[in-house]
Structures are given as C-alpha cells and as structure tokens.
Amino acid sequence: MKLSKLGEYTYLFANDLRMLHLLAKGEEFLSVHAELEDLYNLMYDLYDFACESAIAHGEEIINPSSLKEAITDWNPIQSQSFTMNEIRDYVTENGNFILQGICDCGEEYEPYVQSGLDDFAKDADKIINYKFSRI
C-alpha cells in the first residue's frame, strides 16, 4: 500500500472514531470516550505523517473532503447510537485494517519512514488490540 492510500484510509477511520467518540454512551462512557479520543488523535497524527511522507515521495494526496467519492470500499458509520460491543467491534476490525496497511506500506520506503510507521503501529496496537479488547 502506498503512503497516500494509507493516509486516505486513516483519515476515514479517524473521522469515524471522532463520530463514535461524540455518540458514545452507556456504562463504559468515560473510558470509551477517552480511548476513542486518544485513538482518533493518534490516527490524525498518522494521517499527517503518511501524507507528508507521501508528498515527499512524489505521491498525490486527495483532499479529505473528496475521500467519500474516491474511496468507494469504505463504509462510514451511519447510526446515531452504538452499543459498547459495536464500538469495540468497529474499532477492532477497522483498526486492524489500518495496522495491516501500515505493515504493507512500511517495507516500500526508507528506514526513517518505516521507523515512523512502526511507532504509530505500536501505539495504535496498544489501544486497538489491548484496551478495546477489554471493553
């Protein structure tokens, strides 16, 4: 996967996480609300890193306002209400998709890009596969 494509998917994921953060409710509200905020902030930082690195490598990036038309295989969240299990499942499934994208594109670039991606993967994996697995 190219860095530009990773950036596109990461932005869409981060945007959905922000919506889940806003719509979270229930017994686990405080912990889920906080973890979602941490994760979407991390994903927006990853978006910046991926896109800046993509530009440095001559890749074209898409304005996030146009991503819905450009990325047709992403289904943005639609509901206004989510159970904690639905949030956990969404974060786990789509978060692991992003983690796989990080792994898939890291080998294609210089060590400094790989190192940056590894740092994001480590931090994201902790939230996605450790913290959210306990919800």
Position 57 scores a pLDDT of 96
Q: Are 106 and 1 in contact (CB under 8 A)?
A: no
Report pLDDT digits (tens) over 83-99.
Answer: 888 999 999 999 999 99
At residue 64 the predicted structure's pLDDT band, cuts being 50, 70 and 90, is very high
Give me the DSSP letters along the chain: --HHHHHHHHHHHHHHHHHHHHH--STTHHHHHHHHHHHHHHHHHHHHHHHHHHHHTT-----GGGHHHH-TT------S---HHHHHHHHHHHHHHHHHHHHHHHTTS-HHHHHHHHHHHHHHHIIIIIIGGG-
Cα separation, 73 vs 9, whole angstroms: 10
Residue ranges of domains in the chain, CATH in brackets: 3-70+82-134 (1.20.1260.10)
Position 82 scores a pLDDT of 86
Report pLDDT digits (tens) over 103-130.
Answer: 999 678 999 999 999 999 999 999 999 9
Report pLDDT digits (tens) over 27-62.
Answer: 778 888 899 999 999 999 999 999 999 999 999 999
Position 63 scores a pLDDT of 97
Given the structure tokens 């890291």, which residue do they identify?
106
Whether 76 has a pLDDT exceeding 80, the answer reads: yes
Whether 26 has a pLDDT exceeding 90, the answer reads: no
- pTM passes above 0.75: yes
Position 28 scores a pLDDT of 77
